[in-house]
Amino acid sequence: MKNFKKSNNDGSIAFGFIILGIGIILLLRKVGVFIPSWVLTWPMILIVIGLFSVIKHEFKSFFGFLMLFLGTYFLARNSFDFDFGIGQYVWPLGLITLGLYLILQKKRENQVLDEIRTNWDAKFKTQKMHTGSAFSSTVEDAKIVDESGASDSTASGDKSGFTRTTGTSFADSLNIDAVFSGVNRRMMTKNFQGGKITAAFGGADLDLTQADFSGVVTIQVDIIFGGVKLIVPPHWDIRTEVSNIAAGLEDKRFFRDGGVDSSKVVVLKGTILFGGLEIKSY
């Protein structure tokens, strides 16, 4: 299977600079410093989102560059009267480009899933040759059970996994980006290791009721003009270290009589700007 380079930038630094810039602009405006009117226009929102996406993905984000182009074009046209003579073609070309991107992205996802299946099949055959045990494997269940009932590599700490189109994830860590979109994710791992959630003008629903872990895990939550709903088992110890700026944070869990389990601690870190984070349990 191909080796995919893991990004060294989780987006927190870029998100922090964006929040810092917005704060500085608002502060300067409050103290009477002149701020150009175009700084607070809607094309600037597209530019900010584009910058965030481009920096977060180390300048390899098609979506980020598309947002930058649209934001820059409309800013130049609306605020500086530069039309470049392409006004009537912007939206058709933008939709065509976006459509091609979605088609190619889906094709790439299918290729990755095929490679995962091929790699797993090869791995299972090797294990069977060395141990002589009978394995049953299906992608639907994403589970391997030997004759003694032992679980597969997901329980042994392997971070590999995949997410089905239904939103069910068998990975050990989170990596959710909801930008102008909605994401539903249900984690099935028994070795949950935390991760990150970014919601910008979008929403994310994360169901951890089927997940399990021991110790302390951290989830980085960055929300700007969006919302995140986190569904967790009622006995988990959820600790919030989130900065709220004109935002809401609600814990609506139903606590059991036994209290929380100190051996399962989830620390929520990050920033919420004009958004909301809701924690629930069944």
Average pLDDT over residues 99-116: 66
CA–CA–CA angle 221, 222, 227 (5° rounding): 85
Higher per-residue confidence, 282 vs 267: 267
Average pLDDT over residues 188-197: 92
Residue 3's pLDDT is what? 45
- Assess whether pLDDT exceeds 90 at residue 37: no
Q: pLDDT-based confidence at 177, cuts 50/70/90?
A: confident
Average pLDDT over residues 26-45: 84
| Range ranked top by mean pLDDT from 10-24, 104-118, 203-217, 229-243 | 203-217
- Assess whether pLDDT exceeds 80 at residue 222: yes
Average pLDDT of the chain is 75
Q: pLDDT-based confidence at 188, cuts 50/70/90?
A: very high
Count the Cβ atoms, other than its own, within 10 Å of residue 163.
18
Question: What percent of the chain lies above the pLDDT cut of 90?
Answer: 17
Residue 130's pLDDT is what? 57
- Assess whether pLDDT exceeds 70 at residue 229: yes
Average pLDDT over residues 144-162: 42
Residue 2's pLDDT is what? 43
Residue 195's pLDDT is what? 92
What's the chain look like in SS3? Answer: CCCCCCCCCCCHHHHHHHHHHHHHHHHHHHCCCCCCHHHHCHHHHHHHHHHHHHHHCCCCCHHHHHHHHHHHHHHHHHHHCCCCCCHHHHHHHHHHHHHHHHHHHHHHHHHHHHHHHHHHHHHHHHHHHHHCCCCEEECCCCEEECCCCCCCCCCCCCCCCCECCCCEECCCCEEEEEECCEEEEEECCCCCCCEEEEEECCEEEEECCCCCCCEEEEEEEEEECCEEEEECCCCEEEEEEEEEECCEEEECCCCCCCCCEEEEEEEEEEEEECCEEEEECC
Higher per-residue confidence, 1 vs 109: 109
Higher per-residue confidence, 229 vs 163: 229
Higher per-residue confidence, 157 vs 281: 281
Let me know if 230 is exposed, middle or buried by CB neighbors in 10 A (0-12, 13-18, 19+): buried
- Assess whether pLDDT exceeds 50 at residue 137: no
